[in-house]
Structure formats: structure tokens, C-alpha cells
Amino acid sequence: MTMKWESINQNVFVIKLVSGILITCLGFRFFILRFGQFSPVQVSVNDSQFSPPILSDNEDLIPVDIEVDKCDLFTGKWIKDPLGPIYTNGSCGIYVDGNQNCIANGRPDSAFLYWKWKPNDCSLPRFDSQRFLQLMRNKSWALIGDSISRNHVESLLCMLSTVEKPVEVYHDEDYRSKRWLFPSHNLTVSNIWSPFLVQAAIFEDSNGVSSAAVQLHLDKLENTWTDLFPSLDYAIISSGEWFLKTAIYHENATLIGCHGCPASSNMTDLGFDYAYNTSLRHVMDFIAKSNTKGMIFFRTSLPDHFENGEWHNGGNCKRAEPVSEEEVEMKVVSKILRDVEISQFERVVMETRNLKLLDFAGMLLSRPDGHPGAYRELRLFKDKNTKVPNDCLHWCLPGPIDHLNDVILEIIANG
């Protein structure tokens, strides 16, 4: 009996011992999991190396530059588009300058409307007017420059009017600078007339016929755009073509030379490239030093397609469809203008984070079919023998210039 009791006691002791060991092991394991796995090792760092980025108040206006797999939207080709434009000259005639309303002026063909721009390395979405208006709610836009800028403004207004009709809320005395409001989105779009971007006295009529040389002050920016500039959320600035005109140049309130002046004038012909480079240098310096929080686009000048002459000596543009790169070459003067533009842009772009380049020269070079040509105005009741200039500089609306807005929306929306 005694041996049996001792055996039982031994068994109880063994059970307690094993249970104690198990409880100790489980407790140790819990400690390791709780404090070993989830307690990070504290490493001392220099806080200044990990400071968060400083964002501007208008950070939403500035698209992020994504360098990896970023598509070049400006290099590509024109492909057929069975859908055609999102508006018609009839639905948007109220916003279109009569000289660019080619269909209303009797242009008989419409094939030029059924093409779209296709970048080489990516797809480019069709312009979405609703999306643009939503992104631009409570924003202000301005397109600053010459009649090509006006042409572009009218294209944008027409495309956006498919969703909401803009209301004209301002115009200057000559109706050259205007502003429109999209009321339900509180978006304003302005066209600011400043063909040289610097101060100029111009003496010419609506057909571009001059009665005297332009008086151009190369170092004085025109306040029609500089006064408004700081308040803009988005701006597209451009110039170029007007510098080819005969002009007398001034710097520091002193006459320094001219372009295209007669030898009898006893003035030094400095060339249009000198004037353009000097003026654009002042423009770019102003932009770089302005500290604007808006997004500023600088657009290169667009090519014309005059053949067999120029504006005033019988030049025309009779092509009916796009051409390949091998069929067309940029004119020498256009190359000079673009070289000046690229040079001045590159000079300041590194110090101006929100300055972007819109280089549409190559894109539109292959569209000689997109101009009004002989259909600059309706001539039903005019003398058929009357000579009128062919317009191979501006663009029909609707027409190829609409596709600039496809690219611009893609840049704004996706960087």
C-alpha cells in the first residue's frame, strides 16, 4: 500500500514538473514574439535629410514630371479618324473668326477634318470637354500672343462649348483682347492680343497691309499681358511671325537699327533674329523672376504652308490631305524663329519649375491641308476677278489646330 502511494506521488511530481516547464517555455515564446518581432530597432538619423517636400499653394496646377516611360506627345504622325471633330462650324460659328470658318466660306472638301494626331509611343485620348472643365473649375486661363493665339483660343472655346456655352465678359476697344466665362465652372479663358510681347506701334489694316514700319521697343514688355500675368493659373505664351515684318528697333529709348528698311534710311539692318532673340530674352527673364504659381506654357511658332509665293504675292495652299515628313521641309525663317525660341526657353527652364514647352511645329508641319487658303472669306457676290490673299498661316475651324488641345489636356491631367 505504501509503495503504491509513493508511486502515485512520483507520478504527480513528474506531471507538475513537465507542466511547469511547458508554461515557462510558452511564456518565453510570448515575450519574444511580443517584444522581439514588433519592436523596431531605434536608429538615429539626421532629420534634415528626410524633410518633407515643400508644396506651393497651387500645387494642383503643376503636373508632376514622370521621367520613366514618359511619352513624347509631340513626335508622331497623323492617322485617319472616322469620328471627325467634336463640334462643327455651324454649332460654334459664334466663337469663330469669319476668316477661319472655311466651310461656311465655301470650302468644298471636308476630308481634312477626319484625321487625328497619334504619338509614336503611346495613345492620345480624344479631347474630353467635360473632364477639362472639371479640372479647370475656379481657374483662369490666358492665351497671349498674335492672331494664331486667337485662332487657338477659338478652337478651345468651340470644344468646351459642347458641354457649356461660354459668356463673353470683356473686350478691349478694338475687340482684339477678350475674356469669356464658363459660369457653372467659374472658369475664365482670355485671349490677350500682344503679337510681339514687347511694346510696339503698329500701322496696318485687317488684311495685314502696312502703311508704315512697326516701331518696336525690344526691352519694354507690353503691360497688356504682364499686368494680368501674376493672377493667372494657366497661360500659353507665343510670338514669332510678326518679327518678320519691316520694323524699326529701339532699346534703352534709343533707335538702334531696323529690319527690312531701305538702304536710304541710313539705319543698320540688324535682322529679325536679333530683335526676336532680344525681346524673347526679356520675356523669359520676366517669367523666371515672376515667382508665379501658375502653369506657364511657352508655345513655339507654328509653320505656314505658302507655296508659289507668300501672303501678298500670290502664295497659295491647295493641298487636300496631310503630307509625310519627306514631302515637306520647314522654311528657313521658321527654323530661325524656332531656334531662337528653343534657345531662350532652355536658358531659363531649369530655374522655372512651372514653365513647360509646347513644340507643335513638327506636328503641324505635315498639315498643309488645314488652312483657309482661298476660303478666307465668302465671295458669292464679289467680283470673281478680285484678288484676295490666300491664308496659309491660320487654321480652319474645325481643323488640325483642335488637336493641340488633345495634347495640352493630356499634359495637364497626367503630367
Catalytic positions, written as ranges: 147, 391, 394
Closest CA to 198 of 175, 216, 180, 181: 216
> What is the DSSP-derived secondary structure letter of residue 304?
P
| 41 vs 124: CA distance, rounded Å | 49
Closest CA to 323 of 372, 283, 377, 371: 371
Per-residue burial over 234-272, b = 16 or more CB atoms within 10 Å of its CB, e = otherwise:
bbbbbbbbbbbbebbbbeeeeebbbbebeeeeebeebbb
Q: How far is CA 324 from the centre of its chain?
A: 24
SS3 349: helix
What is the amino acid identity at position 197?
L
Cell of 96: 469663330
What is the amino acid identity at position 207?
N
Strands 198-201 and 76-80: unpaired
Give, in degrees to the nearest 5, the angle at Cα 21 between 19 and 22. 65
Cell of 251: 532699346
The packing angle between helices 272-289 and 332-348, to 10°, is 30
> What is the DSSP-derived secondary structure letter of residue 366?
T
